[in-house]
Structure 1
Amino acid sequence: MHMPVCIECGTRSNPCRCRVVGPTLGFVAFAVSAVIEWPVGAVVYVFKHMKGRRIMAHPATVVYPKVANSIPI
């Protein structure tokens, strides 16, 4: 099994100006939440379009940024 590694360079949040741990854990949290929320959002979308879109967008708009930004390295 191959683990994805995300690298963000050019940031000023640490002396090295590169981040690996935060974006990588953010991606893993995004993937886990997307597996759960996208099918639920698709079912809800059939009945309530905007609510379904918000559910399906939640991993990208809330989960990934919160996890990635909470770890400065």
Structure 2
Amino acid sequence: MLIKFFWYIFSLLTVFLVLISTPNNSNIGASITQGQLFNFRSKKLFVQKVIAFNISMFFIFTILSLI
């Protein structure tokens, strides 16, 4: 029962993070500085790592629920 709970949490969190991290062209303007650009890339990289962790946990809990 607890495995199913975590399975649902990680699946919903993954969908939510993927929807948030979708690039939007309206927030990258001509007035962006190089420091802001690097900060944006590092935040995007962090979110991608969190998404990869959530996907791996989703697969682990899927396998555990089948056992």
Q: TM-score range by the shorter chain?
A: 0.3 to 0.5
Larger radius of gyration between Structure 1 and Structure 2: 2
The answer to which structure, 1 or 2, has the higher relative contact order (CA under 8 A, 6+ apart) is 2
TM-score, normalization by structure 2: 0.39
More helix as a share of residues: 2
Say which structure is richer in strand: 1
TM-score normalised over the length of structure 1: 0.37
